[in-house]
Amino acid sequence: MKQMPLSKVFTLIEPGPVVLISTNHKGKNNIMTISWTMVCDFTPRFALTTGDWNYSYEALIKTKECAISIPNASLAKKAAQIGSCSGADIDKFANFKLTPLKARFVKAPLIKECFANIECKITDHIKKHNIFILDGICAWIDEKNKDRNSFHAIGDGTFVVDGRKIKNLRSIMKDKLPTGV
């Protein structure tokens, strides 16, 4: 995987894709699937909603770090399955034949099969609203994985895959774009 400039990393989350959040806690890797994320800043900073109903919650609280991995649509079935079972019961990497890769700054593993991975430090926890604030500190893109069509959860068990690109509006947006994208 090739390192990605931090200035571009928010563009992985801005479109609202289904993501995999990996953690490493008490020597054990785990993955959860979520859609409840948003960009909070270009630095990049992200918010994520989850709570103690989720097995990964303790790992997030205790380790204060994670990786966000972006799967393409070929991983949609695995992502749905990962989101429908608990790391308390199974080793999700082994069970779903995903390959953990060593990250540079966090113990949480990257996921080789995902086209992009973001190493994150958890910098705040707004307990009242179950919101975690994450700072992306390093990110990786798999240049060989050309299928970067991510997918989005509707919330009713169906998903929608990225379709047609609109590229001719960039000139309208240019004054609002951060530097480096």
Interaction between residue 155 and its own copies (CB under 8 A): yes
d(CA 56, CA 133) in angstroms, rounded, equals 15
Taking CB under 8 A as the criterion, the residue among 52, 144, 157, 179 binding its own copies is 157
Q: What angle do CA 118, 75, 110 make, to 5 degrees?
A: 25
What does the alpha-carbon distance between residue 59 and residue 68 come to, in Å, rounded to a whole number? Answer: 14
Instruction: Report the alpha-carbon distance of residue 28 to residue 145 in Å, rounded.
Output: 27
Which amino acid, one-letter code, is at 47? A
The residue count for binding its own copies (CB under 8 A) is 59
Phi/psi-derived region of residue 180, left when phi > 0, alpha when psi is between -120 and 50, beta in every other case: left
Cα(159)–Cα(148) distance, integer angstroms: 16
- Angle (CA) 71-132-72 rounded to 5° is 5
Q: Which of 20, 21, 39, 103 binds its own copies (CB under 8 A)?
A: 39
Per CB under 8 A, 5 contacts its own copies:
no
Peptide bond into 44 cis (omega under 30): yes
165 is an interface residue for its own copies by CB under 8 A: yes
Enumerate residues 90-149 that contact its own copies by CB under 8 A: 124, 126, 128-131, 133, 149
Nearer to its own copies, 32 or 138 (CB): 32
Query: Which lies closer to its own copies via its Cβ, residue 90 or residue 181?
Result: 181
| Smaller CB separation from its own copies, 63 or 130 | 130
- Interacting residues with its own copies between 8 and 37 (CB under 8 A): 8, 10-11, 14-17, 35-37
Q: Which of 52, 97, 166, 179 contacts its own copies by CB under 8 A?
A: 166
Tokens 């099969």 sit on residue? 113
* 25 beta partners: 28
User: C-beta of 57: minimal distance to its own copies in Å?
Assistant: 15
Binding site for its own copies (CB under 8 A): 8, 10-11, 14-17, 35-41, 47-49, 73, 76-77, 80-81, 83-84, 124, 126, 128-131, 133, 149, 151-167, 169-177, 181
